[in-house]
Structure 1
Amino acid sequence: MACIISFSHFHFIPSAFLLLHLFSCAPATSIGRSPHIIFILADDLGWNDVSYHGSPQIPTGNIDALAWNGLRLTQYYTQPICSPSRSALMTGLYPIHTGMQNFVIDNREGRGLPLGLKLLPEWLADLGYTNYLVGKWHLGFYKKEYTPTRRGFHHHFGFWGSHVDYFNHTASYPKNPGPFELDKDDTDTASMEWLTGLDYRSGFHPLWNYTGQYSTDVLTSEAVRVIENHPVERPMFLYLAHGAPHAGDVHEPLQAPDDYTTGFQDIGHEDRIKYAGMVKALDISVGEVFRALKNKGMLENSVIVFSSDNGPDLERIISNYATAWPLRGQKETPWEGGVKSPALIWSPLLNLPSRATYDGLVHITDWLPTFYHLAGGADSDLGQIDGVDNWNAFLNQEQPQRNELLINIDPEEDYAAIRDGNFKLIIGDFGDGTYNRWYPIYGNVSWDSRKPRDACETSVVSRIIAETGRPTVCGLDASSYATPIQCGVRQSNESCDSIKNPCLFDLSVDPCEYNNLAEHHPEIVERLRAKISQYRSTSLPPANRPSDARSDPDLHGGLWTTWAESASPQEGTPQSPTASQKSVFSMLMSFVNTLMDVASYAFGERSSIQNLAG
């Protein structure tokens, strides 16, 4: 039995529909069977910013404990930048198939993830899930129908756009039209005019009263509140999309409370110290969510995924001073440093030995079919998508489900990249190729393996796992905590310039993309070129649009908001309810009240349902 709720004619009663969903949507057999799914997405976290990858500076104890006692994904890929990665997660489609393959959705832009696409929370709602988004959306908001609670989420708390200041929760964009692609060393932000507005809300309600509260902590508290108020017998999808450790707003990009930067002074680099504090807040958040699941009795039936959305931002106006070392490139580029991201899965349902790894290819598009399988759905329901269901491969360490993945084809930037088995081909590059180098780690990189081991062993996650009676481990073994990527031998001092000639790498021996093999294996180059051409033939043009002056927050009470609501009804703009709709609403509310009474009698949980609806 499937349940699809359309909000298109009842924009004025979302809480009523949430209550209806809680009691009437799921097939009875799904309750108590489908696992709770928690997806924690970090923003611009580099490959080398988690200590289980060998980070020499920032112990990430809770994240590490999940990694060492769960399943580490060693060949996990995202898109090079925020909106494309999030679109891939939500649709199971490569961005070339949704028009999302170029730049991110700008707050000033009249664009969103196409409405004809069915998103991950909508698929899960069909199977009885209640869906929560806490944090960043970044898939369009110029009209209400593009916002999270119109795309399958029953509750959203956070921000719609790309970033916010960590304390006042505003976002700034240049007043002059044009893409927000500014190099930090070439931009005088003080002399520019800016559009600035609040982008913090619960549903459609702006949250003005959180000024001064640190955003990562606020979102953590909301995620904990969601878990505490969720009815245990209902399957939950919690998408915790942190803004951290993406830089904050342009006027003060790196922000962390002093309590979080304490202990990092030995790094000796002011910006990197602040970044370390931002990552610490993220790691604490992971622990608090884990604790909340345990306290609620949901942990044993949960699947937790932690992932970054892309590589670090190192050259732009709001650089976050993260690191993908020793990988090549950064955010926005098709090089490994831009698209190879840290990721892990933890779940009692995996029942794997400690220190397990999955070395097959995994792409961010794979989560939709994998989660749908976990929820009890049939893969055939999903139709033609690019993602694959990896659950059995994860669970049984079976043959990997994919042998190739498209990194991206961007006709605006004029590049394409693909991975096939161990081989990766790059043709063209982002921009002028400036960002395809190997970025060093900022600050002092002295390594003391006792710090991450101690952080892992004393973490909230490790303590709770131990309380469940499971053995816990921290590190590869007693003598070695983590092994960083080994780059191999560089055969030439010249690095490959993919703008001039194709670059082919064997990542099994050259993960740092040192040695171009194109001249030695022209047949592989041609084979991968043909694959790219095949993908190109199925692609849509990029849907990016120019900035629109109507988006100016000064025109909307200081808010970034749904600024195109003057569009015609044919474009799907929500209309005031008609008399017949009001009549239906009255009947629905009567039905809801009856359901509430039945629920109160049968389950004794009326108060928790009311809290959830609010």
Structure 2
Amino acid sequence: MVSTLLLALPLLAAGSAESSAPRPNVLLILADDLGVEALGCYGGTSYETPNLDRLAAGGRRFTHCFSNPYCSPSRAELLTGREPLHNGIPRVIFDPQNHREFLDPAREQTVANLFRDAGYATAAAGKWQLSFLTQRDTPHALGFDRSQFWPIQIEGSRTSRFAEPSFWGDRPDGTRGPWSKPDAYGPDEYNAFVQAEIDRASTAEEPFFIYYAMLLPHFPWEPTPDSDDPLKRTSSLATSSKGNLKYLPDMVAYMDRLVGQTLSHLEEAGALENTVVVFLGDNGCDVGVTSKRTVPGPDGPRIVVVPGGKGTLTDAGTRVPLIVSWPGTVDPGVDEGLVEFSDVLPTLADLCDLPAPRNPINGVSFADRLGVPGMEDRPDRTWVHIQDKSRRQVRSRTHILTDRGAFRPVIGPGERPAAPLSGALSPELQAERNRLAAALQAVETFDGP
């Protein structure tokens, strides 16, 4: 069956890429709480995203990329190529007293490990949330030579990620640990770190892999340096409030601006033409967010209102932007096929001729769908797997089957949830249900370490 094959496909064999070509750099950008409805290139009308829209126009835009509904499981799957069921991160890591999970470098290997083993300079910045850094400082063991992250807590006290930010990782003086910068804006500092790592690798004439896990536009919704209100550390830090939604458009715009600055820096460093840029969101927009999006309809384009679905196993919670750009190499266009987060690792392995990972992976390379010469054809993915804690489901382009047995049609943006199908099914629907049931079982019994 195709569903089983998708779980067992090997990576492209080493040496299959053009050996005479220089190895490309990779900049992997992950926005925080960003569904497809937030970007203009996906029909979004609520926010200004000109830089990402230009990136999409010059690269490949995927319309059906799926994450998990929360950050930690999505990040672990993205970096390992393995489902939450297998990589040990089925839930959000946010409370050191109640959640003991962490991405264990003794058990798991990330795409950064593969890049470092292949001779790349590796770095990461922004939001980690795959361990409590004050307890388990794991980024280096998971492949990152240098890193700067926002620590959720320091010595039991919550920290700020935006105004008056706190940091954990490689300090400017060469030591490693926590520090703060009262007069700074956190996203600016991480953006500067990414640009410095680009310069560091370029000066050393080393290829680089940089994982840029942006903090924006996750709550607390607070002013940015471009907002009319003065930037300050708000009361939301102490009260756990999400802040004020009036600042969300400013935060989305500032996220877009930082991406544009980094792309401009790549160009100034002479690295843009040989850099694969991958942009994604880690899950859908927050449940407190309502956005507008233009979608096609039988009578022409129409505007729909899309409530955010973060934390839900719906398209609003798991359907996220995916843009891949490599100027002059990736063919511009739109891909409407299915992609899930585990697919990014084998795709980058194909594009950059990386060594095979030691663990079996769930992902399937989509490098052949980018128009890059020399990439081996792969069977099209016909379903994706999504997980939140113990809840799991598989989704095709037309239907969803949960691990609790609910089988329902996929709904469009802004439409009311469809009731599970019950009673006798047509032969075609029964065949679809059986296929998705086999996929759920295949993921569960996948031969991990």
TM interval, short-chain normalised: 0.7 to 0.9
CA distance in 1, matches of 2:441, 2:162: 43
Going from structure 1 to structure 2, the CA distance change for 1:58 and 1:511 (only over 3 Å counts) comes to closer
Deviations 1:139-190 (A, max 9, x none): 1036765521232101102224498441122xxxxxxxxxxxxxxxxxxxxx
Within the candidate set 370, 374, 377, 1:394 is matched to: 370
Q: Determine if contact 2:124/2:144 at 8 Å carries over to the other structure.
A: yes
- Matched with 2:339 is 362
Q: Determine if contact 1:328/1:336 at 8 Å carries over to the other structure.
A: no
CA distance in 2, matches of 1:539, 1:311: 30
**Structure 2: gaps of 5 or more residues:** 1-17, 154-158, 230-242, 294-303
- Tell me if 1:332 matches 2:332: no
Going from structure 1 to structure 2, the CA distance change for 1:117 and 1:201 (only over 3 Å counts) comes to closer
Going from structure 1 to structure 2, the CA distance change for 1:93 and 1:278 (only over 3 Å counts) comes to same
Q: Determine if contact 1:79/1:339 at 8 Å carries over to the other structure.
A: yes
Q: Partner amino acid for 2:440?
A: I
Give the aligned length. Answer: 388
1:524, distance to aligned residue in structure 2 (A):
3.3
Q: Partner amino acid for 1:518?
A: L
Going from structure 1 to structure 2, the CA distance change for 1:526 and 1:65 (only over 3 Å counts) comes to same
Deviations 1:203-238 (A, max 9, x none): 633222x11311111211222222223235311011
CA distance in 2, matches of 1:391, 1:530: 26
* Percent identity for Structure 1 against Structure 2: 26
- Matched with 2:421 is 518
CA distance in 2, matches of 1:125, 1:148: 12
| Structure showing greater Rg | 1
- Higher strand fraction: Structure 1 or Structure 2? 2
Within the candidate set 342, 353, 357, 1:376 is matched to: 353
- Tell me if 1:425 matches 2:401: yes
Write the mapping of 1:301-316 to structure 2, written as runs, cut at 5 A. 301-315=274-288
- Tell me if 1:51 matches 2:40: yes
- Tell me if 1:529 matches 2:432: no
Going from structure 1 to structure 2, the CA distance change for 1:365 and 1:287 (only over 3 Å counts) comes to same
Q: Determine if contact 2:56/2:324 at 8 Å carries over to the other structure.
A: yes
Q: Determine if contact 1:79/1:85 at 8 Å carries over to the other structure.
A: yes
- Matched with 2:215 is 243
Any idea what SS the aligned residue of 1:280 has? helix
CA distance in 1, matches of 2:20, 2:128: 28
Question: Normalising by the residue count of structure 2, what TM-score does the alignment of the two structures yield?
Answer: 0.77
- Tell me if 1:202 matches 2:170: yes
Within the candidate set 159, 163, 187, 2:150 is matched to: 159
1:511, distance to aligned residue in structure 2 (A):
8.7
CA distance in 1, matches of 2:396, 2:224: 44
Q: Determine if contact 1:406/1:419 at 8 Å carries over to the other structure.
A: yes
Deviations 1:12-69 (A, max 9, x none): xxxxxxxxxxxxxxxxx98971101001110001221111122222110101000112
Q: Determine if contact 1:81/1:310 at 8 Å carries over to the other structure.
A: yes
**Structure 1: gaps of 5 or more residues:** 1-28, 170-197, 248-252, 263-269, 429-500, 541-614
- Higher helix fraction: Structure 1 or Structure 2? 1
Write the mapping of 1:167-566 to structure 2, written as runs, cut at 5 A. 167-169=163-165, 198-202=166-170, 204-208=176-180, 210-231=181-202, 233-247=205-219, 253-257=220-224, 259-260=226-227, 271-315=244-288, 326=305, 330-353=309-332, 356-377=333-354, 381=357, 383-395=359-371, 401-408=380-387, 410-411=389-390, 415-426=391-402, 502-506=406-410, 512=415, 514-516=417-419, 518-519=421-422, 520=425, 521-538=429-446
1:279, distance to aligned residue in structure 2 (A):
1.0
Deviations 1:342-383 (A, max 9, x none): 120111143424xx10111111111111112222125x5555
CA distance in 2, matches of 1:323, 1:91: 33
1:200, distance to aligned residue in structure 2 (A):
4.1
CA distance in 2, matches of 1:126, 1:201: 21
Question: Normalising by the residue count of structure 1, what TM-score does the alignment of the two structures yield?
Answer: 0.58
Q: Determine if contact 1:327/1:336 at 8 Å carries over to the other structure.
A: no
